[in-house]
Amino acid sequence: MKVDIEQRILAANDELASANRSRFADHGVFVLDLMASPGAGKTSTILATIDALRDRYAIAVIEGDIASKVDAEKVRAHGIPAVQINTGGACHLESAMIRRAVDTLDLDALDLIIIENVGNLVCPSDFDLGESAKVMILSVPEGHDKPQKYPNIFQVSEAVILNKCDTMPVFDFDEAEFTSVVRSLNGVAPIFPISATKGDGVAEWAEWLAGRIEAAKAEAAS
Amino acid sequence: MKVDIEQRILAANDELASANRSRFADHGVFVLDLMASPGAGKTSTILATIDALRDRYAIAVIEGDIASKVDAEKVRAHGIPAVQINTGGACHLESAMIRRAVDTLDLDALDLIIIENVGNLVCPSDFDLGESAKVMILSVPEGHDKPQKYPNIFQVSEAVILNKCDTMPVFDFDEAEFTSVVRSLNGVAPIFPISATKGDGVAEWAEWLAGRIEAAKAEAAS
């Protein structure tokens, strides 16, 4: 019974997600669904990514939070359009929320939309938003054992960002062990060690993303 | 429609939670539901709490995780009985899972059960497990703005533990701002700044918990 309900909710979400995906493809917009725990540095990573790519691409951000609008305000202060979604309690974004947010954006004028999902290592991994790629951030203070405990999000992510690497000496973080467990769950996703606030490693991550943006533009043009 | 389904799931959970609560009260066992983000230090805090209280109280732990049994193994290595619940994808514990786990424990021999909920700042706050008190941990690296973004968990918690306080110099954590926003959401919950791995502040937190355990025992005896 409960499984039926869950499947019905997921099926309705998937249908709208497909519509979102076609819409993004028609406009050649690459849409990134960025997922992480609370406080892993999603907003800082978004700001660093904007700085690395804003000269080449037109970017907008969709901010998902249970409550508050502080993240959208931070992005707007950075001179980038931002739409805040408040889920009012829901622990993840859904494709209907994304559709409403995208209605307020000019897709023809954009190359990249970054969606900041609600801070949560579990539920966002189950919901297709119509994004071009899901990417996750783990932050060093969370510990190297997280892939074992939250395997699904590591499996659905097309890249894994390891943030706050500058604090590795402070925490007992075993990077080799982390990489090994991530590899056992996901054989292909690149792992980008970065410090979003200090800028280390951001260029490599941004180049990977730029490659994906170019591929989406080429696909739309063909 | 979705709200109806949600209310039915919550109502079924609440009914079993009430049964759990009566059972705990009959045995004079204090049951703590410990909630936090992934990597905030739930297991380290549990181990430090065990060390502080094991001479006075008989303790068991129920470990909730999506997958893996590493936390239960850590607790058992500490000489304390531990039951691992794997939710297999679910982002929170429910009262039916707790009932099954408690069936494997000898309640007459216990004073305190600590439940480590799934790492998540959102969903666990909605589910009554029949616990005596919900308590949350926020860790300093997550940032002082989390109460604004995840208000509900701060509202339902009877105490707030601020962990990894030894790393405050490394992060841009504004403790006064944090305290002020927590106070606006929850006027009564004490805030315990601790470092679970270094031991700082653990005694104050453990004394608060001991006071609650004594109250539960007195209630059962009366």
Residue A186 lies in a domain: yes
Q: What percent of chain A has pLDDT over 90?
A: 90
Q: What is the mean pLDDT of residues A59-78?
A: 95
Q: What is the pLDDT of residue A1?
A: 40
For residue A27, being part of any structural domain is answered with yes
Closest CA to A202 of A31, A44, A34: A44
- Kindly indicate the confidence band of residue A88, based on its pLDDT and cuts at 50, 70 and 90: confident
In a domain, B6, yes or no: yes
Structure tokens at A203: 């260029």
B70 to A167: CB separation less than 8 angstroms, yes or no: no
pLDDT at B4: 65
Closest CA to A38 of B70, B119, B65: B119
Query: What does the pLDDT read at residue B220?
Result: 87
User: Hey, is the C-beta of B164 within 8 angstroms of any chain A C-beta?
Assistant: yes
Q: How many separate domains does chain A show?
A: 1
Distances (CA, A) of B84 to A10, A167, B63, B67, B193: 28, 31, 5, 10, 28
Q: pLDDT value at position B177?
A: 97
Predicted ipTM of the assembly: 0.86
CATH number at residue B26: 3.40.50.300
Which run of H or E residues covers position B45?
A: helix B42-53
Mark yes or no for CB contact A89/B120 under 8 Å.
no
Q: Hey, of B7, B65, B150, which one would you mutate to test binding to chain A, going by the most A CBs within 10 A of its CB?
A: B150
Residue A222 lies in a domain: no
In percent, how much of chain B has pLDDT > 70? 97
User: What is the average pLDDT score of chain B?
Assistant: 95
Taking the Cβ of residue B94 and every Cβ of chain A, the question of whether any pair is shorter than 8 Å is answered with no
Q: What is the domain extent for residue B104?
A: 2-135+202-221
Counting Cα atoms < 13 Å in the Cβ hemisphere of B81 gives 14
Tens digit of each residue's pLDDT (9 = 90 or more) over B197-220: 999 999 999 999 999 999 999 988
pLDDT digits (tens, 9 = 90+) for B18-44: 999 999 999 999 999 999 999 999 999
Does B69 have pLDDT greater than 50? yes
Average pLDDT over residues A60-79: 95
Instruction: Give per-residue pLDDT as tens, B124-144.
Output: 999 999 999 999 999 999 999
Contact B70 A139 (CB under 8 A): no
Report the predicted TM-score, pTM, of the whole model to 2 decimal places: 0.92
Per-residue pLDDT reduced to its tens digit, A158-193? 999 999 999 999 998 999 999 999 999 999 999 999
Name the residue in chain A with its Cα closest to that of B144: A39
Q: Contact A121/B121, CB-based, under 8 Å?
A: no
Q: Is residue A101 part of a domain?
A: yes
Q: How is residue B55 annotated by DSSP?
A: T
Q: What pLDDT shows up at residue A5?
A: 66
Q: Is the pLDDT of residue A6 over 80?
A: no
Q: For residue A125, is it within any domain?
A: yes
